Amino acid sequence: MSGKRLLQGIISLGVAALIVVMGIVLAILSRGMFADEKGGAQSSQTATGSSKATGEERQAVPVIVQPARTMIFEQRIDIAGNILAKRFALVSARIPGTLDSIFVDEGDFVEAGKTKLFQTDSVKLTQAVAIAQEQVTVAECAVREKEALLEKTLVGQQVAEADFARYKDLAERNAIARQVLEHQEAQVRQFEADVRHVRTLIELAKAQLEQARLNLKIAEKDLADSLVVAPISGRVSLRMKEPGEMAGAGTPVLRIDDLSLVEVSIFVPSEYYDQVVVGQTKLRVRVAGRDLGELPVTFKSPVVEPRLRTFQVKALLQSPPPEVVPGSLAQVSLVLASRQGLGVPAQAIQQRGGKNIVFVVTENKAKAIPVELGWETEGWQEIRSGLSAVVPVITSGQSLVDDGTPVRVLKEAGR
């Protein structure tokens, strides 16, 4: 019995000890959990503060700014133009006929008054000159013949006059009949008429001789004109006929262009007519990627073309580069007016509420400034009023901001 009781006491003591140990463990665990909850609360508060700061940073719109600047603004028109030859010649045959020879080809350089171009009907015209020379010879012989006849007639007249003087003396002495004297007087008068007649024949022969000489000059001129030489210096740009074909006045055989002096030609809308002034208005020209600078207007059409409502404007270009030839396409800016002003990049302009505005950055916030616009030049917009200082304006991100929006400047363009 005593052993059984001893065993029960030991078991009861072990259960009580176990309960105490478990209580201690639970107390320790409870303290640890409380500490964890307190530390967790503190960490949560710290994380909330950091998230709030990051959120405010994220609300600031990133932008790029670029300073306004003072520059020259132009009122101009960009027009496609053409390069034309100032001096050119469409060369036709002066004497109609068959082309015997063409001495030049396209691209050849010719010199005014020296280079032979082509010839027409040289054989026929050479024969015409020979015939005209023979006619001159015949006319000269006719003149000499009439002059000899005059000498003969004058001799006969002298004899008749001498006989008449003797017969008159005899008649006064009644040595001959009156009829003989009258007959001799008639002979004298006839010789006087013959002299006048021969003199007239001489004048006619001389006139015919002069006519023959003129015909010879014409034949020689025709022969000379059959050989055509270059009327201007330049290059043959077009050959329109070949040997054996018929040529005549008004039908060009060759075209010659003087490449040392060309014109820039454009056609401008009629509303700008009064703004273009010869000698003052400038053309800014670019051909084949080459800048030719500014050229003053040298010609303005006196009338406006009624169908297209445009007028022609030209500018001279002397000694152009080799690539600038007649027929080239020219990129032309017609500068109508220019002035100095304050400008901003064109992309900085925004339309808000029917107004043009730009945004500047003040105390890390966007500030909207209404502006009045002027001319635009090379991507820059003139500001006529509203912005008076050379200050940076927002050029990227401006469509995402309003007046007072927090902004964060990423960089300043151009730096």
Hey, what CATH topology would domain 62-71+340-412 get? 2.40.420
Give me the half-sphere count of Cα atoms (radius 13 Å) on the Cβ side of residue 329: 5
**Token output for 26:** 């639970």
How long a stretch of residues is the chain?
415
Q: Tell me, what's the pLDDT at 356? A: 95
> 73 with 375: CB under 8 angstroms?
yes
CATH class of 118-229: mainly alpha
Distance between CA atoms of residues 97 and 189, nearest Å: 57
Q: Tell me, what's the pLDDT at 36? A: 41
Low-confidence residues in the chain, pLDDT < 70: 1-58, 413-415
CATH class of 77-86+258-338: mainly beta
Distance between CA atoms of residues 136 and 304, nearest Å: 59
Summarize pLDDT for 170-181 with one digit per residue, the tens: 888 888 888 888
Distance between CA atoms of residues 129 and 213, nearest Å: 11
Kindly give, in sequence order, each residue whose CB lies less than 8 Å from that of residue 227, ignoring residues fewer than 6 positions away. 116, 118, 119, 122
**Token output for 121:** 């009907």
- Count other Cβ atoms within 10 Å, centred on residue 167: 20
pTM: 0.61
**Token output for 228:** 């055509």
Q: Tell me, what's the pLDDT at 47? A: 39
Summarize pLDDT for 377-403 with one digit per residue, the tens: 889 999 999 887 788 999 999 899 999
Distance between CA atoms of residues 40 and 37, nearest Å: 5
User: Per-domain residue ranges for the chain?
Assistant: 62-71+340-412, 77-86+258-338, 118-229
* Of 348, 338, 347, residue with least CA distance to 391: 348
Q: Tell me, what's the pLDDT at 382? A: 93
